[in-house]
Structure 1
């Protein structure tokens, strides 16, 4: 009975947190996008190397869990930011942020924290850049265009060119940024509308996370993560995906495992998959991406986690 109560409380907590974050982030992004005439498109445009690092930097500044990255990812895609650059943000946000770095520094020290950040930035850049060599439609489902709050419209002469769409009938085309009137009520309604579209996915995702959190005891982790180093690292990576844990939870668990004699490589492998990929996140991503991408996404996170775990144990 206690497990059911814990699961229900966790469900309410996660559902409220994710719902508020989704609506708030969508609303904020719409305001920023209108106020600054498509800042995401401007700053993250094209295939420039700097665009990838800007996306990584933005991801590193946003302390979101794997599920909470979805609203901003969706905003990028609706603003026609290239998929490969949007993925740089998606991979970075749950894995590198001030909270993670601070907790890693306190728990494992400066050396491991810096290695973790540099290693992940390098791999995320390489992986995201590789995605630029593939056609986006092979991974993406149709992303509905936000017709009310989006500020991009296609040029009739060239559908691939997106131009600013001024809503005011008396707009001064010479200086658009000074004449923009933001309809906050309309933007908020549009954020709620987008939230309702994702609501079934959010409910399923949160239920999975709450169930796993309430019914899988931490003793299982401690029991199976000792033994052969490489096998333990791989097992830890797989467990991280199936256990929906926020980083604030994972790192204290990691400290407990470290005190039990489990290697840093195993712990870091577990941390990367636990923070960077989860069943609830995959449920949310399925609304935007094809199964081919979801499979690749899981394999990439597993590969990054296992390679970093082995790397840490070798140095």
Structure 2
């Protein structure tokens, strides 16, 4: 009974966190996109390598877990930020931020911390830039693309009469936005939130169950003697769990001092913080299964690569 109450409490906390973040972040990004469109276009909407660096830096400054980063991802996609740039942010946000870096330095020392940040920074840039060379439209769900096209068609036509209507609509929109822009943007975000609500309920429910039933002594009992193979096993297990990197660093330190190889713990830490089953469920609202496989594979690749480096260094 006590465990069920713990799971229910976890579910309510996770559900409230994601719900509030989704609406507030959507409102904030939509407002900024309307007010500072030129700035937004200049810094995030260009498909250039510098833009990817900016996206990674933005991810470093937003201390979100894997699920909490979805609201900002959704808002970026609605604002027409390229998918490759969004991926750079999506991978970075739960894995690098000032809090994580400080905890890494305190727990594992400056050398490992700098190597962790430098390795992730370079690999995330490389992977996200490679994704940008694919036709990314194939990854989106038809519903998401349909909504996107409807928004475009409401104010995009080539004939003169449509342009006049478009300009008139734009002028009226700007007037209304000045009068009550926050309220209007809030209701737009709430409509988006209702579409993703079932995914949030399912995803957060699974996340709470995983946190409630995952055995605390798993690594001591099952992973201590696997050697290099443990790096691969830890990555594939971690990518399905739901954890916060900040909360897991002290646990990882305690487990490494008890004899668990650092490479195994780093592989598990990156995979578990960078991706999760609840996050994949939330992403399913936007993307096809092919993207979910690609995204999870990128996280597993990063986790295994860094884990192996830690194992042999």
1:233 touches 1:265 (CA, 8 Å); kept in 2? yes
Name the structure with the higher helix share.
Answer: 2
Aligned to 2:296: 298
Describe how 1:37-76 pairs up with structure 2 within 5 A.
Answer: 37=37, 39-76=39-76
Structure 1 292/171 Cα, relative in aligned 2: closer, same or farther at 3 Å?
Answer: closer
Partner of 1:251: 249
Deviation of the 1:42 alpha carbon: 2.8
What is the match of residue 162 of structure 2?
A: none
Give the aligned CA root-mean-square deviation in angstroms: 2.5
Q: Structure 1 residue 4 and structure 2 residue 7: aligned?
A: no
Distance in structure 2 (CA, Å) of the matches to 1:294 and 1:216: 23
Q: Give 5+ residue unaligned stretches, structure 2.
A: 160-165
Q: Provide the TM-score with structure 2 as the length reference.
A: 0.89
In the TM superposition, what whole-angstrom CA distance separates every residue of 1:67-97 from its partner, at most 9, and x where no partner exists?
1111111122112111111111111111111
Deviation at 1:305, TM superposition (A): 0.2
CA contact (8 A) 1:95 1:272 kept: yes
Separation (CA, whole Å) in 1 of partners of 2:256 and 2:157: 57
Q: Aligned pair in 2 of structure 1 residues 37, 147: CA closer, same or farther (>3 Å)?
A: farther
| Other structure's SS at 1:75 match | helix
State the shift of 1:153 in Å.
5.2
Partner of 2:238: 240
CA contact (8 A) 2:239 2:299 kept: no
Residue matched to 2:110? 110
State the Cα distance separating 1:306 from its structure 2 match: 0.5
Distance 1:124 1:153 in 2: 36
8 A contact 1:41–1:80 mirrored in 2: no
Give the C-alpha shift of residue 263 in structure 1: 1.7
The CA deviation at 1:249 is: 2.1
Shift of the 192–212 alpha-carbon distance from structure 1 to 2, 3 Å rule, reads same
User: Could you tell me which residue of structure 1 aligns to residue 158 of structure 2?
Assistant: 156
State the TM-score, normalizing by the size of structure 1: 0.89
Q: 1:269 aligns with which of 267, 270, 293?
A: 267
How many aligned positions are there? 302
Are the equivalent residues in 2 in contact too, given 1:18–1:67 (CA < 8 A)?
A: yes
- Secondary structure of the structure 1 residue equivalent to 2:63: coil
For 1:86 and 1:130, the matched residues in 2 are separated by: 13
Counterpart in 1 of 2:202? 204
- What residue ranges of structure 1 are gaps of 5+ in the alignment? 158-162, 173-178
1:129 is displaced (CA, Å) by 1.1
Distance 1:154 1:51 in 2: 27
Does the CA contact (< 8 Å) of 1:166 and 1:180 recur in 2? no
